[in-house]
Every structure is written in structure tokens, then in C-alpha cells.
Structure 1
Amino acid sequence: MRSDVPLSYYTGLLGMPGKTAYACFHEVCYPKEGEYVFVSAASGAVGQLVGEFAKFLCCYVVGSAGSKEKWCSCKEE
């Protein structure tokens, strides 16, 4: 574990959610630029990262969330 990285990163991007999102998105899906990506539970820890990975690859991202409040938080953050 690196000391120059905030501890909170290890519960997200550098931890289990990040590893899960990366492996599933890049090693299972094999996305290409311009493709549509649907993310279920887009407001969750893994779903948020998958959405960011897809946007980074210039994919069109469509996500779902369990409630209007969760959907709004995805759109605002």
C-alpha cells in the first residue's frame, strides 16, 4: 500500500469495487469506442466506476438506479 495515496481510495478505485469494475468491463465486455454501455445499479460503488470507464472510452452510457434520489445523485455528481 502506498503512503502517498489517500486511504479512502482503497475502498473504491484501488480496492475491491475498482478491481471488480475494471475486470468485468475491460476483460469480460471488451468495449469499443462509440458503443452503448448499460450499467445496472449505476449509483453503486462498482456501477459508478464502470460508468466512468465507459465514458473514458467515449462510449454512450445508460444507467439505472433503484430510486429517483439515487438517479439524481448520479446525474449531479
Structure 2
Amino acid sequence: MAAEALIVDDAYQRGYADAIADMRKKKRAERQREQAKKARRWYFIKQKAYGLAMLAVTVLAVWATEGDITIAVITVPLGLM
């Protein structure tokens, strides 16, 4: 009888340990998904900021060259991409 109780208790302990390990694995995967989501969001924010900066450089270059918009042929498409 005592041996059966030990077997049941051992099985319970293993099941509990597996459940805890599974929970930790799921939390780690969720944390990685959140980090990837944040990284992707920051990537696009930076990309938009660089595009706006390129357009601002275009405006400054046109102003500095007193209206020559030749530089805009290259910088405007780069800024919009």
C-alpha cells in the first residue's frame, strides 16, 4: 500500500514539474513574441523618421541652391521609400 502511494506521489510530482516547465516555456515564447513585435514597430518608426529627414534635407538643399531642384530627383524617391 505504501509503495503505491509513493508511485502516485512520484507521478504527481513529475506531472507538476512538467506543467511548471510547460508554463515557463509558454511565458518565454510570449516574451519573445512581444520583443519581436516591439522591434518591428521601432523599425518602422525609425524608417519613417529617416524618410522625413531625407525630405527635410531635400528642402534645405533646394533652399541652399537657390531653387535648383535637381537634387530632388534622387532624394524625394529615397525619402518616400
- In which range does the TM-score fall when normalised by the shorter chain? under 0.3
Tell which structure's C-alpha radius of gyration is larger: 2
Could you state the TM-score of these two structures normalised by the residue count of structure 1? 0.27
* Structure with greater helix percent: 2
Q: Which has the higher contact order (CA 8 A, sep 6+)?
A: 1
* Structure with greater strand percent: 1
